[in-house]
Chains A and B, each alone.
Chain A
Amino acid sequence: EPEVTQTPSHQVTQMGQEVILRCVPISNHLYFYWYRQILGQKVEFLVSFYNNEISEKSEIFDDQFSVERPDGSNFTLKIRSTKLEDSAMYFCASSGVAPNEQFFGPGTRLTVL
């Protein structure tokens, strides 16, 4: 069964450093998303991406965040200057023919020290 994959599974970084989280969505999917979940809290929407542009973004997704689809398979989330409060699990998701049904990757646990 096709699935969303994410790398790395765990990223530790120093405050102020840039990180790039990588995702490979399900191959025939067209809609891509990033969500985050701070430990013990709910899953929060960050951004959606379709047709090589951002469709919608939340208030969390400020100028420090960017997304890119650099090639036909990868979808990345960049945080330019990480803050302590960026520590969370970051989930990539994708959806396809039924665009509403989003399938999540296993997540990248980001720890900012």
Chain B
Amino acid sequence: RKEVEQDPGPFNVPEGATVAFNCTYSNSASQSFFWYRQDCRKEPKLLMSVYSSGNEDGRFTAQLNRASQYISLLIRDSKLSDSATYLCAVDTSGTYKYIFGTGTRLKVLA
């Protein structure tokens, strides 16, 4: 099993839709979890950290499920500008070394 896995997509959704992505991780001792957004040929931009209690930032909600070893990202009311690749990053060892997933590509359609 890969350390961090994501469905590559693409997820094609209409504007205004709600879409959710999951990211599974193999190391149950993983410490910290993050969602990044990456536009084509650009750097990853931190979207949000994922806390045990879950967290929300506007239209974005992140959840952590330690029992099943996955994190999720929910995007409500999708905008055209949300089209990007969403990367999950996991600090599996508590040493600030991130393991990234391959990313899930989202296309929001007009």
**Which residues does A use to contact B, with CB under 8 Å?**
31, 33, 35, 41-45, 48, 55-56, 58, 89, 91, 95, 99-107
Contacts and interface: CB of A to CB of B under 8 A. Distances in A.
23 contacts: A31-B96, A33-B98, A35-B100, A41-B102, A42-B101, A43-B98, A43-B100, A45-B97, A45-B98, A48-B97, A56-B96, A58-B97, A89-B41, A95-B96, A99-B96, A100-B32, A100-B96, A101-B34, A101-B46, A102-B96, A102-B98, A104-B36, A104-B46
Given A100-B32, A100-B91, A42 B100 contact: yes
Contacts, number: 59
A45 B49 contact: no
Nearest to B99: A45
A95 to B, nearest CB: 7
B66 interface: no
B95 A48 contact: yes
A31 B97 CA distance: 11
Interface of B: 31-32, 34, 36, 41-46, 49, 87, 89, 91, 95-103
A101 B34 CA distance: 8
Nearest to B91: A100
Contact of B49 (A48, A58, A89, A100): A100
A107 B44 CA distance: 10
A107 to B, nearest CB: 5
